Each structure stands twice: as structure tokens, then as C-alpha cells.
Amino acid sequence: MTTTHIGQPVSRVDGRAKVTGDARYAAEFNVPGLVYGHVVSSDVARGTITGIDVSAALSVPGVLEVFTHENTPGLPWFDRSYRDEVAPVGSPFRPLYDDEIEFSGQPIALVVAESFELARHAAALVRVKYARLPHRTDLELERRAAYQPEHRMPLPAPRGDAEAAFAAAPVRVDAEYRVPAEHHNPMESFGATVVREDDGTLTVYDKTQGVQNVHGYLCRVFGYAPEDLRVVSPFVGGAFGAGLRPQYHVFLAVLAARALERSVRVSMTRQQMFTFGHRPATWQRLRLGASADGRLQALLHEAVAETSRFEDFTEAVVHWSGMHYRCDHVAFDHRLAQLDVYTPMDMRAPGASWGVYALECAMDELAVQTGLDPVELRLRNYAERDQNVDKPFSSKELRACYRQAAERFGWARRDPRPRSMRAGDALIGWGMAGGVWEAMQETATARAMLMADGSLTVSSATADIGTGTYTIMAQIATETLGLPIERVTAQLGDSTLSAAPIEGGSWTAASVGTAVKDACTRVRARLVDLARRLDGSPLAGARPDDVMLADGHLHAGDGRSVAITDVMRRSGVGTIDEEATANPSRTRDAYGLYSHSAIFAEVQVDEALGTVQVTRVVSAVAGGRILNPKTAGSQVMGSIVGGIGMALHEESVLDHAVGRFMTHNLADYHIPVHADVHDIEVIFVDERDDVVNPLGAKGLGEIGIVGVAAAIANAVYHATGRRVRELPITLDKLL
């Protein structure tokens, strides 16, 4: 007998809690005596504070304290105290450390009062004087000063003589692509509720993608022993990378709770969600040289991206070009330009979202010049090996992605001539692109505890940011131990649980899922051993490998069985408790490990108004074993919506005169709404991978967005004949 829980479209086990309101988020934990903090943000982008008057705020009844750099002594000096697990090289930002202003919106004070409304009112009464310094926030002006950071992410080695090959190529594309800064804007704003227990220890409820990362950061900064501070984050209302690093709200909340000996909540407003990390604005240049029949002879990809003045944030932007297509002459360059902004940070598919966008648009331009169908061009340059490291792929079903998505989309009916397809007064465009993302696995630990009543709890400190981690953990445990899924409880988001990496990189299912499987396998081995040792056991003489677990029973191959609860009861065992740590196999080192996708998009462009609608998207994804097609499909659909936003809507606009993001609310920072999202179809291509991890799963959170913006941009060109190389594609760029 076998169970079939993995691979089934199981509904979210946490779904009921979320739709009924039982699920509580970081700023929803209430305790007696809770007080509230509101952040005062800087008005300037660079300078020093010459005076800060908090007297009017303190005079308001109910205001407890105003924290500034003037009354927060004793903070650590060394950078290492503030450096979290994913901090880039540099000197991390230190809230309220001194009078220096490094970016607009920097937190310069925290007002704490008996209510949120009172704290916000009093915050408006704080008066600050600055000595302003000249600031620089324009990437275009700073590109000439861009540099290669000393500790950058290693670039792939160049191959051949790319410059000479490009100069000699019969067909050439030389294009620049510009993409803006973007902010994550999850539905749940950042907030933290710090509960001070009677013994002086703290429980910190924080919105984060890594409770143990926040825990380590807070312990180092404030000098807490690990056992005296706990970080909890059971539910996260979206993050997309914004929660990878501890944000300043949690620092300020703990600072106030420690000083006041009170429980404190600090929540960011939507406007303040634009005052920390973001996807970096990036300039790129692609040069493609090809033969007349479209075979690549040269590929040169260079990029300049923004970073802050205090940290060197670097993404893998140009790397993808070296392995996505076969080419013997390749060169890369990636430099950073320092701006007076907060350090950029990872946002869904960091680096690939921008890098593959430029590459796939350049390939479309090459298809136009050579007169080849865009799919055929990609197939002629199909890479059988990861050329960056000269290794075979562990698996690669990208050809099948192209074929299946094209068939479902109806690509064969495409008239290749720009402006040749219409529906009434609207121009119709069909475009496509390929996508690629790393299939990573990190070291993770999980625990499985089987109780005498046949219930099971699996736990790990990982996060569920809406991806379905609770459900996948339960499915893996159910599959391994043959229990009804209703008898399995998944616990996560608690720093006291088994060690897990931050939730990011699309590695959670592969990393934590493998650890859950290993822990449950250990429980299974002990359970089978107990069953075989029972007096008069129905499984006496059965080989352990022949015993199957299903429906809460252990089954021998000849039909004999015994209930798990009977085994536990008759053995006198109250619990079976096992923990396992899963590490990436060294076998992985011999392969290139990636997910792949093919995206086909249809747009309608109003020729008179220049407005663009994405009317259809078909995405075929080769992501290894699909653990849950229901939650997996939801992940890819959400990513596609994010890709529509990248192509047509999202842009964090800086006013360089004041050095401030002016699109700092959801009225000005546009994201796709229901009216912008039409037919989306997701295809999962069968792909077996025995190398990537024991589950064979590659991760889906990010592959779904890679290439979407390029497919839409290419469709806009096909509809209009106008090549827009700067995102987002707004109507003013088409009129």
C-alpha cells in the first residue's frame, strides 16, 4: 500500500485560520499594558541633525518617552553586532546611533505613548533642525563613478574574445535597458510587538522571513542571552524578500521595551514602507553578435546597479546570460554606483528579474533582425551545459516548456509582422521569453514528534510567507508516516525551534522539506522496530523495508497490519521524538542546478491612448517534482502578476531635488489590480531530478516571475513596432 499525499492538490492547512481571522500577525498580538511607538523620519537625504526638540511631544498627556540619538547610549560600536545573516559587505545601518543622516526617511526618533493615535500625533510635534549636505540619488549621473566592489559576487569567467567576435558578427544587437527601483509592498506592513515577560525576558512577535536571523541580530545588538529573547512569526502577510533582513522597526521596539520595561508595539505606516530596502535601479547594456542564421557568436552583458554609501549590495544580474544560451565568446561586467539611499535588498528573483528581462528582450531584437521566429532562435542557441561552470545540468526540460506553452498559447498562428494583428481598434501583440532560476538547497533541521494517540507534530524555525510551507511540511510528514493529514500539525516561525535558513531563494521546500522527511523517516524506523518487537506482532518476521505505513497503520506485504496507536500503547512508549539535519549532497557540485520556464504573453494596445492590457499569459515551468500543484500554481500565478507589475506599473520614483521617493503610497506606486489581470494559465512540465535533493523539488517562488516582463515587452513591440527599453512601459512611452 502506498500513500499519494505528495503531488496532490491539497488545500492549505492554515487556510481556515487565515480566512476566519484566527491567524494572528506580528502587530495583532495584544497584552495588558501594551504601549505604542511611532517613528519620526528624516526630511533630508544627507546631512546631520543640529537640533531636535521633543518638548512639545513629551508635554502631551499619555506620551511616555521620545527616543533619539541623544538618549540611547550604550549601543555597540562594532559592525559585527549589527550584521545579520544576509547583510552585504559594509557597515550596517544603526538606528538612532548618531546625528548623521544617510538617506531620506531615516528613523531619527521614536515616540512612545499609551495609544497608536497619540504616538502618531505627538510624533508630528517633534521639531528637527538639519545641516544639509549635497546628496546624489540619480543612477544615470553616477554611472561614470561606478566601481567593482572588492568583495563582489564573483562574475562568471569570460570565454573567448567577445569584443572581436562581436565586431566581426554579420548581425549585431547593441541595446541599453533601464529598469527602476521597486518596493516590495506586501499587504502586511512591517510591525513588531515586543512582550516583556514578568521575569524580564522578551517575546518578540515580528514580521520576518527569518526568526532566527532576527533573534541573533537582537541578541548581539542589545546583549541578551539567547534564552532571554524569543522571536515568533507564525504568519506573514507577504514579504517577497523585504523580510530577509531585520528592519528598523524591530530594533526600535526592543529598544523601547528594554528602556521602559513595558510591552511595546511599533508598526510602520505604508509611507514608511518606502524608507528601507528596495529592488535596485539598474542600467544594462546587451551586445549580441550572431551569424545570419541566428547562431550566437558573441554575447556581452554589463550592468550598473545602485547601492547605498554604507553597504555594497550586489545581485547576480549578468550571470544568467552566460549559461542560458550556447555561445563561445562571452564577457560580463557588473559595477555599483553609490547613492544616498538605504541599501537595496533582495526582491523576488533578485538579479534574474532584471538580468533575464534585458537578455530576453535583446534576443527578441535579434530574432527580428534575423527574421527568425523567437522560439526557433532560442532553440538554435539552446545550451546543453551550464557554460559558466562547464557542467551538465542536473535536469533541463526547457525545450518541453517552449513546446507545451507555445501549443497551449496558439503561437503557430502568430503573424510575425509588427502591427499586423488587431482586434477592432486595438493592436494585438504576442511575445515570449524564457526564464531561469537557481535550484538551491540550504542546511536545515526539523523535528518530528509522534504521540501515543497517533498524532504527529513536525517543526522547524522556517517561515511561511504565503507560499504554503505549513501545507508542504504536513504533506511530507503524512506521506512518510502514513497518517491522515488531519492528524499532522506543522509548527514554524519560532526561534526556539530547530535551526532553519531564512525563507528565501526558493529553497525552503528543498531544504526544510528534506529535513522534515529525514526526521519522519527516523520516526518511521523506530516505529517499525517497536512493531516488530511486540509479542505476537502481526509484523513479526517482516523486513523493515517491506513494511508500509498508510491510514494510521503499519502493513506487511501479505496483508497483516497493526495500528500505530496500538504499537505505541503496547510498547509503553508515549512519544517518539526525532530531529534530523539535512545538508546539500556533494553530488550537486558536479551539476548546474536550475529551474526553467517559457512565458508567452498577449497584449492589447489602444493605439490612440497608448494603454496596454495583458490579456493572456501562458507559462510552462520545469521545476522538478511538484509537491503540491495547487499551492505551486498559486505561487506561479502570483509571480506572473508581479511580472505584469514590473512590465507596466511598478516604479519607485525619486525626486532627485530632495532625494526622496515620491511614490510612497499605493495610490502613487502602481501595482496590478483585478482589472489588470486576465487569463493566466500555468503548466508544470514533467521533470525528474535525482540530483537536486532527495525530494526532487526545485522551488517555484521565483522562477514564475523571471522572464514575464520580457515576454510582455516583446509583445508590446510586436503590437506597436515600437521597442521600449525602459520599464515600466507606460502610455507616454508609446504615444
Q: Where are the beta strands (DSSP E) in 239-295?
A: 264-267, 282-290
Average the pLDDT over 325-347 and give the result. 98
Amino acid at 580: A
C-alpha of 426 from chain center? 36
Under 8 Å CB-to-CB from 145, ≥6 apart: which residues?
337, 338
Q: Is 565 left (phi over 0), alpha (psi -120 to 50) or beta?
A: alpha
In DSSP terms, 624 is beta-bridged to 697
- Asked if the model's pLDDT at residue 240 lies above 80, the reply is yes
State the DSSP H helix or E strand holding residue 150, giving kind and residue range, or none if neither: none
In 3D, which of 423, 564, 444 has the Cα closest to residue 504? 444
Does the structure show a pLDDT above 60 at 1? Answer: no
Distance CA 473, CA 512 (A): 8
Q: Comparing 330-344, 395-409, 539-553, 674-688, which segment has the lowest mean pLDDT?
A: 539-553
What number is the average pLDDT over the span 670-697? 97
Residue among 65, 311, 578, 702 flagged as catalytic: 702
Are 473 and 490 in contact by the 8 Å Cβ rule? The answer is yes
- H/E element, 639: helix 629-648
On whether the CB atoms of residues 123 and 111 are closer than 8 A, the answer is: yes
The 3-class SS string of 655-708 reads ECCCCEECCCCCCCCCCCCHHHCCEEEEEECCCCCCCCCCCCECCCCCCCCCCH
pLDDT at 406: 98
Neighbours of 676 (CB within 10 A): 16
DSSP helix, strand, coil percent of the chain (3-state; round to 5): 30, 25, 45
Which of 63, 27, 71 is CA-nearest to residue 194? 27
Angstrom distance (rounded) from CA 344 to CA 333: 19
How do residues 600-626 score in pLDDT, each as one tens digit? 999 999 999 999 999 999 999 999 999
Q: Do residues 388 and 323 lie in contact, with contact meaning Cβ atoms separated by under 8 Å?
A: yes
Q: Which of 598, 612, 206, 188 has the alpha carbon at shortest distance from 411? A: 598
Instruction: Check: CB of residue 704 under 8 Å from CB of residue 640.
Output: yes
Residue 91 burial (CB count, 10 A): 14
Residue 130: predicted pLDDT: 98
Provide the pLDDT for residue 150: 81
Q: Which amino acid appears at position 418 of this protein?
A: P
114 catalytic residue (yes or no)? no
Query: How far is 242 from 240, CA to CA, in rounded Å?
Result: 6
Asked whether the beta carbons of 707 and 360 are under 8 A apart, the reply is yes
Prior bond of 728 cis (ω within 30°): yes
Mean pLDDT, residues 340-351: 98
Question: Over 70: is that where the pLDDT of 2 sits?
Answer: no
Instruction: Look at residues 68, 484, 23, 536 and name the one whose alpha carbon lies nearest to residue 233.
Output: 23
What 8-state DSSP symbol labels residue 281? Answer: P
Question: Of 429, 436, 399, nearest to 414 (Cα)?
Answer: 429
Report how far apart the first and last C-alpha atoms of the chain are (Å, whole number).
64
Give the pLDDT score at 670: 96
Residues 411, 706: contact at Cβ < 8 Å? no
Q: What is the pLDDT of residue 392?
A: 98
**CA 575: distance to chain centroid?**
37
Residues whose CB falls within 8 Å of the CB of residue 203, separated by 6 or more in sequence, listed in order? 194, 195, 197, 230, 232
Q: Is the pLDDT of residue 346 over 60?
A: yes
Q: At what angle do helices 508-533 and 469-481 cross, to 10 degrees?
A: 30
Mean pLDDT along residues 693-711? 97
Of 283, 208, 284, 291, whose CA–CA distance to 250 is shortest? 208
- Residue 535 is predicted with a pLDDT of 92
Residues in a beta bridge with 437: 595
- pLDDT band of 173, cuts 50, 70, 90: very high
Query: Which of 485, 418, 370, 383 has its CA nearest to residue 11?
Result: 485
Domains and CATH numbers, the chain: 15-22+442-583 (3.30.365.10), 31-134+187-239+243-274 (3.90.1170.50), 364-440+593-733 (3.30.365.10)
- Other Cβ atoms less than 10 A from the Cβ of 732: the count is 7
Contact 408, 401 (CB under 8 A): no
Alpha helices of 548-602 — where are they, by DSSP H? 564-571
Cell digits of residue 69 = 540619538
Task: Give me the pLDDT at residue 668, please.
Answer: 96
CA dihedral 716, 717, 720, 721 (to 10 degrees): 180
Mean pLDDT of the chain: 96
Specify the residue for cell string 490612440: 608
